[in-house]
Amino acid sequence: MPLGEMPSMLAQKTVEYLPNLVLALLVVVGGYIAGKIVETISYRLISSTAVERFYRERTYLSVAFIFSLIFKWATILYFLQYAANIAKIDALVNLMGAVISILPGVIGATAVLLGSYGIGLYIKDDIFRSREFYGNLLGKLIFLFILYVGITTSLQLLHIPTDLLNYLLLLIVGAFAFGLAIAIGLGLKDIVKEMAESYFREYMKNQSKPAARKKKK
């Protein structure tokens, strides 16, 4: 191609591509507006549920805010992929497709994580709520176990290996058990000593009775 024809060829390609670019930009703007609408509607719907009230009363978490934000960006990402397809930007189309493919896992992982946290919180505060030390301790242990199961399940939904988390749990449990054993040992030291002395006095008393009887005879 002669060099003199290159500017005209470039201008022609630009004119041919310009409608697609304008349409893609309109789709992006429309996607943002649609995302805001989805966010507002989902927030209002979820805010009126008992689940939202449960979390608001006990924690600083807002289920409505979290899920409405996810739904908003899911909507925007779908529009971005469509806009990239219109603009014929294959790399962006593939990138949006990869991100969209993990959205179900993100939604499921978020639901499982929040659900396990809520269930553990309910068990700890409502079922095992007690002034007794062991009741509170058992409630906290169950809460941590349920939360661990929720985190592990969430990572599996996101196809993230959980081996490191399992090793970390074993390390934490081992350290906790070791610390608890030391604490109980130190706390019961005086009690065990008193029990041993009491048993020893009782044993010596029983041993002295036959000797006293023989002297009387």
Cα 100-105-108 angle, rounded to 5 deg: 130
* Angle in degrees, 0-180, between the axes of helices 90-101 and 63-86, rounded to the nearest 10: 150
Contact 119, 58 (CB under 8 A): no
Q: Give the integer Cα–Cα distance in Å for 130 and 13.
A: 75
Contact 158, 104 (CB under 8 A): no
- Per the listing, tokens 């807002």 go with 62
Tens-level pLDDT at each residue, the chain (217 residues): 454 455 555 555 555 667 788 888 999 999 999 999 999 999 999 999 988 988 888 888 889 999 999 999 999 999 999 998 888 888 888 988 888 888 998 999 999 989 988 888 888 777 766 555 555 677 777 888 888 888 888 888 887 776 666 666 666 666 655 555 565 555 555 555 566 566 566 656 666 655 555 555 5
pLDDT at position 3 is 46
Contact 118, 51 (CB under 8 A): yes
pTM equals: 0.67
Q: Give the integer Cα–Cα distance in Å for 182 and 180.
A: 5
pLDDT at position 1 is 47
Q: Give the integer Cα–Cα distance in Å for 147 and 160.
A: 17
CB atoms near residue 95 (< 10 Å): 15
pLDDT at position 39 is 94
**Token pair for residue 75?**
């909507």
Q: Give the integer Cα–Cα distance in Å for 191 and 195.
A: 6
C-alpha dihedral, 185 to 190 to 191 to 195, nearest 10°: 120
In 3D space, the residue among 38, 91, 146 whose CA is nearest the CA of residue 138 turns out to be: 146
Q: Give the integer Cα–Cα distance in Å for 168 and 163.
A: 9
